[in-house]
């Protein structure tokens, strides 16, 4: 495969991601794609446990994945498939489908820095394992992981193919630990996108950081060059939580109760203190009865920047279903929450702590998995590879 060896000083890519009419999202750039990229329709999110023991084997894997990701995001197969005497390099199910705005985003979990690969001293302070939160019901088999691969695309087969073929390339060097598919984005990450709805029927992603909010991105999403580990400059941290919804219970709830849970109107998405979706929530507004229009335990009150020391996160989650729960025969479905931020210790953790203690939504949801990854900066050009500065 061309251009996968060692460090090559390629010029820095564009700082701001361009949109293309060919369905191709640029793979190279200052930041990895799949973060501020206008959220695609589908997700395949995989976490891997690294099984090889030598550092150079891991480096080789990351180089192979980088070269393959450059091809896949261009709509190309990972290798030739036409020689009848050899096993096809690419599994083939996306031939003819085009790039479908595929992005491949790679991150490193805290466990990768445990000393196996000589990386312990390079672990950023912000990559501290997430604390336990009240109500957590986490399945360890679906949590954690040494490396994550987030594949997002407008075509489910393209997203599936990306993680499938990257897992194939990894072979025995890294085994998939867990895999989550998602559909129906639950956020907007571009001002050009309309707000989608989550499986509870509410508009989700109204007050989110978007690709056009450069100041917010620099302040709340991208790691600065002067943060403790220089190799993370231009990177970010991803938190993933699989949150199961008790849909049967939710569906039996009155509309007024549902709206009080979020603090927003179901049809329009407007805050209960306003008339339009774009109206900023007025947390101080009270009704004729003297009670707050947005209840004290409403989700948007507890998650709002103003109740969290001004902190914001970039949400980029997806709805999911894993079919029927075999025990209860209820639909196992919910939100696969993904959020990007500059330092989870000051962003996701305090927000989730507040939500876990008091959110009215807790009656209807259960966090069943949890993972945290350091997402290094983007690749500068052909020959660059995921995490090169971490290993250099």
Query: Which positions touch ligand HEM (CB under 6 A)?
Result: 198, 200, 202-208, 241, 243, 245, 262, 264, 281, 299-300, 303-305, 313, 334-335, 337, 348, 351-352, 355, 365
Cα(26)–Cα(32) distance, rounded to whole angstroms? 9
Strands 365-375 and 331-341: unpaired
Closer Cβ to ligand HEM, 113 or 337, answer by number: 337
From the CB of 205, what's the least distance to ligand HEM, in Å?
5
Cα(115)–Cα(110) distance, rounded to whole angstroms? 11
Closer Cβ to ligand HEM, 113 or 202, answer by number: 202
From the CB of 339, what's the least distance to ligand HEM, in Å?
6
Closer Cβ to ligand HEM, 114 or 322, answer by number: 322
Cα(170)–Cα(176) distance, rounded to whole angstroms? 9
From the CB of 101, what's the least distance to ligand HEM, in Å?
22
From the CB of 214, what's the least distance to ligand HEM, in Å?
18
From the CB of 140, what's the least distance to ligand HEM, in Å?
19
The answer to whether residues 221 and 346 touch, using CB atoms and an 8 Å cutoff, is no
Query: Rounded to whole angstroms, what are the CA distances from 323 to 121, 138, 166, 198, 260?
Result: 42, 19, 25, 17, 29
Closer Cβ to ligand HEM, 202 or 373, answer by number: 202
Closer Cβ to ligand HEM, 170 or 221, answer by number: 221
The secondary structure of 16-45 as a DSSP string is: SPPP-TTS-----SSS-SSSSSPP-SEEEE
Token pair, residue 10, equals: 């390629």
Strand, helix or coil for residue 271? strand
Closer Cβ to ligand HEM, 24 or 362, answer by number: 362
| Number of residues that this document lists for the chain | 392
From the CB of 163, what's the least distance to ligand HEM, in Å?
23
Residues forming beta bridges with residue 371, ordered by sequence position: 240
């Amino acid at each position: 495969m061309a251009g996968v060896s060692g460090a090559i000083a390629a010029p820095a890519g564009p700082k701001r991601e361009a949109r293309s009419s060919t369905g191709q999202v640029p793979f190279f750039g200052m930041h990895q794609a799949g973060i501020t990229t206008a959220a695609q329709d589908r997700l395949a999110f995989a976490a891997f446990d690294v099984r090889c023991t030598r550092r150079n084997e891991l480096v080789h894997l990351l180089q192979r994945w980088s070269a393959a990701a450059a091809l896949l995001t261009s709509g190309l197969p990972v290798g030739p498939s036409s020689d009848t005497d050899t096993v096809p390099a690419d599994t083939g199910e996306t031939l003819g489908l085009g790039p479908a705005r595929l992005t491949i985003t790679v991150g490193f979990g805290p466990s990768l820095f445990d000393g196996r690969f000589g990386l312990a001293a390079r672990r950023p302070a912000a990559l501290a394992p997430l604390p336990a939160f009240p109500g957590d019901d986490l399945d360890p088999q679906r949590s954690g992981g040494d490396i994550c691969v987030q594949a997002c695309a407008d075509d489910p087969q393209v997203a599936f193919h990306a993680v499938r073929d990257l897992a194939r390339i990894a072979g025995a060097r890294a085994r998939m630990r867990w895999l989550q598919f998602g559909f129906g984005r639950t956020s907007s990450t571009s001002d050009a996108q309309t707000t989608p709805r989550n499986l509870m029927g509410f508009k989700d992603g109204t007050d989110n950081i978007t690709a056009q909010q450069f100041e917010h991105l620099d302040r709340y999403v991208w790691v600065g060059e002067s943060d403790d580990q220089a190799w993370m400059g231009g990177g970010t941290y991803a938190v993933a939580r699989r949150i199961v919804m008790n849909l049967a219970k939710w569906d039996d709830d009155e509309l007024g109760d549902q709206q009080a849970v979020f603090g927003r109107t179901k049809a329009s998405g407007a805050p209960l203190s306003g008339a339009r979706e774009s109206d900023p929530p007025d947390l101080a507004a009270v009704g004729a009865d003297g009670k707050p229009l947005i209840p004290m335990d409403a989700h948007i009150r507890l998650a709002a920047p103003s109740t969290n020391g001004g902190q914001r996160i970039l949400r980029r989650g997806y709805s999911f279903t894993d079919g029927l729960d075999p025990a209860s025969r209820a639909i196992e479905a919910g939100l696969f929450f993904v959020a990007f931020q500059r330092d989870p210790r000051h962003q996701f953790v305090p927000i989730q702590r507040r939500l876990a203690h008091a959110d009215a939504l807790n009656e209807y949801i259960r966090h069943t998995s949890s993972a945290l990854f350091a997402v290094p900066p983007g690749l500068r050009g052909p020959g660059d590879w995921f995490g090169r500065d971490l290993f250099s």
